[in-house]
Amino acid sequence: MINLIIDISRYLMILLIALYTYLNFRFFSFPDEIRKRKICRRQNFAMFLIHLLAYLIIWLETEDEKMLVFYVAQVIFFFSYLFLYRLIYRNVSRLLVNNMCMLLTIGFIMLTRLSFDRAMKQFVIVAAAALVTFAIPFVIDRVWQLSKIPWIYGIGGILLLGIVCLAGTSSYGAQLSLEFGGYSFQPTEFVKIIYVFFIATMFYRSTSMKTVLIVTSVAALHVLILVASKDLGSASSSLWLIFSCSLWQRENGFIFWPGPEEGHWLPCLPISCSDM
């Protein structure tokens, strides 16, 4: 009987994921907000049902009561997150929030199957990150000086990368992360965001060629430290794409690079920093 329930649940999860994907595309076919909200509510129902079925399977296979407690904690978190996020960010895209929660749900399911302890650590990190995102609007509204400290962002990013290079944990030959109390994190991910802040504040002040050269030099220093840490992936891709944003032309929305012939320029597609 248990095997039958598990097999049926697995097929239901496949159908629900297909339905959720269909609703993603269906969302864009409705021009009015009322129907779009209905689509989002159906997505939420499918997401919570997938979550329930997955943890039902895990509990039936392990018979560990910790899985039930962990499941209830996640349900409370997702309900709270969906409600508070729409409350704090009034104009947020509900579809984007739904997809983010869906990916988090799948991540928790996969981690729980692999290691309950790691899944619990990841859950704590996600909950802490959610609290930080809730505080961002209040910080921006009250701390207007954030646009006047570009070098804090630039130097802070370099210091973080330097600490990883000197004292980071080695993984497959590369210095990637720092460990504190059993938790590890990759400062490179924070440096990407900090460097975007650096670019924004620098070009908020001036868009002259001198500013472009300064931003280029700081980007090069970031990349050199990453190369010294043997984190070639970030050095060759992520930070280079972020640096490309610094050449964004405010007037026409294009990035220009020297063309194959002298005196010519090739327009490239705009690069979104949020895709990093």
pLDDT digits (tens, 9 = 90+) for 208-219: 778 778 877 887
Q: Print the domain residue range for 177.
A: 144-275
Task: In whole angstroms, give the CA distance from residue 18 to residue 46.
Answer: 10
Do 134 and 169 belong to one domain? Answer: no
Residues contacting 81, CB < 8 A, separation 6+: 101, 130
Residues 156 and 130 in one domain: no
Domain boundary among 117, 142, 167: 142
Q: Which of 114, 108, 141, 112 is nearest to 126 (CA)?
A: 108
Q: Which of 142, 157, 189 is the last residue of a domain?
A: 142
- 121-180 pLDDT, tens per residue? 889 888 988 888 888 777 766 666 666 777 788 888 888 878 777 776 666 666 666 666
- 9 and 47 together in one domain: yes
Q: Answer yes or no: do 7 and 138 share one domain.
A: yes
Distance linking the first and last C-alpha atoms of the chain: 46
CB atoms within 10 A of CB 41: 13
pLDDT score for 77 = 93
Domain end marker among 121, 142, 163: 142
The count of structural domains within the chain is 2
Per residue in 241-272, pLDDT (tens digit) is: 555 655 554 444 444 444 444 433 333 333 33
